[in-house]
A and B are shown apart, each in its own frame.
Chain A
């Protein structure tokens, strides 16, 4: 099997979906000849033509609204927002239309669209290119929010997102676009959208993360093993609706739960998981739940961004603290 980067896996999935289903349409800024600023759509316009791979005007609200209209007509639009920092004009369309079209028309119209966008910091990008605001999206009923952390999961989850009958926001960890490499078989097989992935088994502490932070979380688990702490690592992958059972099952086994995310602390998705564990897993807890997160401030620009993002060391310290608690 060939090794590909995460962004190449995205490209493979898009190509496969378009090949398999003539209703799949790709649209966004610079997605055509340029192949997207991260090259996620490279070659697609050549293969499928400029009607199905469409360079839109510079207007994010338009992109998301077009997707709603196309989806209601039975197309399967995959919109690209160039960076998550430019997603916010789409919120009107996501909250007021995409997420509730099925519900408000009682199933008469539906919205099988995907909105893809790069997520997170760590590539020394300019201002407004580094935020992680997934919790805001995961708060919207009717939406699915998915974030892969490896090429194979990017491939399988994107196929699932495109085939899903409901709107999906697909967040792609920018920092891993080229850094994450792995084997991907372009076999058209989707992965389930509502299951978390247990990447490493362990009985002492559960580490839960998603997106780019999975990398540091896995490295922390490795470091902890040298201290004879066996960490279980869960890649949540789908934040909405998320796999509560895998989380609760793991915490029931380990009794300790550390949640790692790059987004700011307050109101981050870690708070949701901590609440779940408090509500339904309290009896198995041997230590307080700990969150290792970005800080409650504006993501600083390049010179300080490394200090903003949770480090392996911070994760290890938190896990150790959870294990030492009694």
Chain B
């Protein structure tokens, strides 16, 4: 008791708080005055269309995988608002550093559906995509793109370019040193970078409570010297607003920001996973009530920005786009074997030319 009293006499030298942002309730009603961009009906509809396209594309990709025409694939089911919302707040010249589950962000930035299929179909040409040339490809080794984001941001700052690096990763990734190290450096140098953790509650079968003892992921930014905010990741308006603010702050030289987007992985981890092994259908079912598409559609319909006819037209349009992309992907023949030596180095060293010839079937030695 005595020591407790003594402790209370010690001065508090720092206090922190973490805020949570949401704009739309699960039923689609606005819970607070919406940000300025919400007056732009065209933008809102575009956000909605992108999320629908992503969901339908995912469905097709899984069907392709199940019939042996695509490799392992990770769906965004339930998380569409995160990658789409964040990417929509970026400028073309900003730099995206995505994880393997951020199809939504790539699509928004101009990557073509067939390029995404090529990548997951096991063809390196999928990474030579139509998105901004400076964007990074999908990152498979979890969290390892975070230090790249800090490096990109350092380069942008060094050259005094008003551009921002935007790095997306999962809740599992926040356990890796890569992520802490990147945030720490970014904080120390006040770099123009925004880190977005898509907290979908699961890293394959590992639930968040085994990942960290921390109350929020957002507060991890505080130790790195910048602010973190928790956002309803099923609310695309909130996601876009949070990203817009964070990116603007980073662009204005006030340093990094961290966004914890709280959502839920409604699907299996990937097509190689069976989530029923480790979580109950009831749990998943409960989260369907909060999913991002229905919520946003309700809002749009309520605002007279969207109709049933629009919905039908959109479905048909998406279907057509997806089928065309699948057709393009399936009719792209594999590269010739020797191309595995293409772009290994700027110029293939003489030492390896014979190996390339052997692959090309030009070796008769």
Q: B-contacting residues of A (Cβ < 8 Å)?
A: 29-30, 32-35, 37, 55, 57-59, 61-62, 85-86, 89, 124-129, 265, 295-298, 300-305, 307-308
CA A61 to CA B173, docked complex, whole Å: 13
Question: What chain B residues lie within 8 Å of A301 (beta carbons)?
Answer: 71, 122-124
User: Contact at A58–B172, with CB atoms within 8 Å?
Assistant: yes
Question: What chain B residues lie within 8 Å of A265 (beta carbons)?
Answer: 355
Nearest chain A residue, comparing its CB with the CB of B137: A127
Q: Assuming A29-B203, A305-B122, is B175 touching A57 (CB within 8 A)?
A: yes
User: Contact at A303–B334, with CB atoms within 8 Å?
Assistant: yes
Contact for B204 among A29, A59, A296, CB less than 8 A: A29
CA A35 to CA B359, docked complex, whole Å: 39
Q: A-contacting residues of B (Cβ < 8 Å)?
A: 71-72, 100, 120-124, 138, 140-143, 172-173, 175-177, 203-206, 210-212, 272-273, 277-278, 334-335, 337, 339-341, 344, 351-352, 355, 359
Question: What chain B residues lie within 8 Å of A62 (beta carbons)?
Answer: 175
Total cross-chain contacts (CB, 8 A): 106
User: Contact at B277–A35, with CB atoms within 8 Å?
Assistant: yes
User: Contact at B211–A58, with CB atoms within 8 Å?
Assistant: yes
Contact for A303 among B121, B177, B351, B355, CB less than 8 A: B121
Question: What chain B residues lie within 8 Å of A30 (beta carbons)?
Answer: 204-206
Question: What chain A residues lie within 8 Å of B143 (beta carbons)?
Answer: 58
Nearest chain B CB to A46 CB, angstrom units:
12
User: Contact at A308–B172, with CB atoms within 8 Å?
Assistant: no
Question: What chain B residues lie within 8 Å of A296 (beta carbons)?
Answer: 351-352, 355
> Is the contact region of chain A dominated by helix, strand, or loop, or is it mixed?
loop
User: Contact at B71–A126, with CB atoms within 8 Å?
Assistant: yes
Question: What chain B residues lie within 8 Å of A126 (beta carbons)?
Answer: 71-72, 100, 120, 122, 140
Instruction: Sample 23 A-B pairs with CB under 8 A, ordered by A number.
Output: A30-B204, A30-B206, A32-B205, A55-B205, A58-B142, A58-B173, A58-B176, A124-B122, A126-B120, A126-B122, A127-B138, A127-B140, A128-B141, A297-B341, A298-B344, A300-B124, A301-B123, A302-B71, A303-B122, A303-B123, A305-B122, A307-B340, A307-B359
User: Contact at B206–A125, with CB atoms within 8 Å?
Assistant: no
User: Contact at A85–B204, with CB atoms within 8 Å?
Assistant: no
Nearest chain A CB to B221 CB, angstrom units:
18
Question: What chain B residues lie within 8 Å of A297 (beta carbons)?
Answer: 340-341, 344, 352, 355
Question: What chain B residues lie within 8 Å of A59 (beta carbons)?
Answer: 175-177
Q: List 7 tightest A-B contacts by C-beta distance, closest first.
A: A302-B122, A34-B205, A57-B175, A58-B172, A307-B337, A301-B122, A303-B334
User: Contact at A37–B277, with CB atoms within 8 Å?
Assistant: no
Question: What chain A residues lie within 8 Å of B206 (beta carbons)?
Answer: 29-30, 55, 57-58
Question: What chain B residues lie within 8 Å of A295 (beta carbons)?
Answer: 340-341, 352, 355, 359
User: Contact at B203–A58, with CB atoms within 8 Å?
Assistant: yes
Question: What chain B residues lie within 8 Å of A37 (beta carbons)?
Answer: 204, 272-273
Nearest chain B CB to A50 CB, angstrom units:
9
Nearest chain B CB to A260 CB, angstrom units:
16
Known: A29-B206, A37-B204, A62-B175. 18 other contacts (CB 8 A): A34-B204, A58-B173, A58-B175, A59-B176, A89-B176, A126-B100, A126-B120, A128-B140, A129-B140, A295-B341, A295-B355, A301-B71, A301-B124, A302-B121, A303-B121, A303-B122, A305-B122, A307-B340
Question: What chain B residues lie within 8 Å of A125 (beta carbons)?
Answer: 71-72
Nearest chain A CB to B172 CB, angstrom units:
4
Question: What chain A residues lie within 8 Å of B141 (beta carbons)?
Answer: 85-86, 128
User: Contact at A34–B278, with CB atoms within 8 Å?
Assistant: yes
Question: What chain A residues lie within 8 Å of B140 (beta carbons)?
Answer: 85, 126-129
CA A308 to CA B123, docked complex, whole Å: 14
Nearest chain A CB to B332 CB, angstrom units:
10
User: Contact at B337–A34, with CB atoms within 8 Å?
Assistant: no
Question: What chain A residues lie within 8 Å of B177 (beta carbons)?
Answer: 59, 61, 89
Nearest chain B residue, comparing its CB with the CB of A125: B72
Most chain A C-beta atoms within 10 Å of own C-beta, residue among B72, B100, B122, B337: B122
Most chain A C-beta atoms within 10 Å of own C-beta, residue among B123, B173, B205, B334: B205
Question: What chain B residues lie within 8 Å of A298 (beta carbons)?
Answer: 340, 344
Nearest chain A CB to B331 CB, angstrom units:
14
Nearest chain A CB to B336 CB, angstrom units:
9
CA A244 to CA B341, docked complex, whole Å: 34
Question: What chain A residues lie within 8 Å of B339 (beta carbons)?
Answer: 304
Q: Assuming A33-B205, A55-B206, A304-B337, is B176 touching A124 (CB within 8 A)?
A: no
CA A126 to CA B278, docked complex, whole Å: 23
Nearest chain B CB to A80 CB, angstrom units:
13
Nearest chain B CB to A110 CB, angstrom units:
26
